Amino acid sequence: MTQPIVAAQTVKTPVGELGLEASESGLVHVVFGAVHGESNAVTRQAAAEIEQYFAGERRDFTVPLDRSGDGFREQAQAALSDIAYGSTETYSELAARIGNPRAVRAVGSACATNPLPIVVPCHRVLRSDGSLGGYAGGLEMKRELIELERKHTGGG
């Protein structure tokens, strides 16, 4: 179970402001837009890592996460971090990889409700036809994140 939010910090990025909310033990939310509050060690680490990510200096996040829930949604969200930087996977490939190939819509729902976008990279998941699908930050942001990663991996 997620601990109470005790810290909040906003970080400016090339895709807009991101709000970081944390408990004492880890990052709880990344929101699109500013948040207000006092920072803590977790939000400061998350802000630094996000800045490094956008500078092309970081591919994996090490900030501790404070996740809630269990079951399929948590399993799907946890599997997102296994999609390599600069790569994409389809909703159906992700469903198959976590052992439930018929759960494509449930994977889509898990991506749509990901409380930690960018840090837990749901932007790397596409529709089977290669189109972007949806993204809480908007399709233009999803496109920019994919292009940023491809640029820093030599993929275009």
Residue 111 bears catalytic tag: no
In 3D space, the residue among 109, 21, 27, 22 whose CA is nearest the CA of residue 71 turns out to be 109
User: Rounded to whole angstroms, what are the CA distances from 61 to 105, 119, 120, 121?
Assistant: 27, 6, 8, 10
In 3D space, the residue among 148, 141, 124 whose CA is nearest the CA of residue 32 turns out to be 141
User: The tokens 């601990």 sit on which residue?
Assistant: 3
Are 76 and 118 a contacting pair, CB within 8 Å?
Answer: no
Catalytic entry in 79, 111, 122, 141: 122
Would you please indicate which residues are annotated as catalytic (active-site) residues? Answer: 122
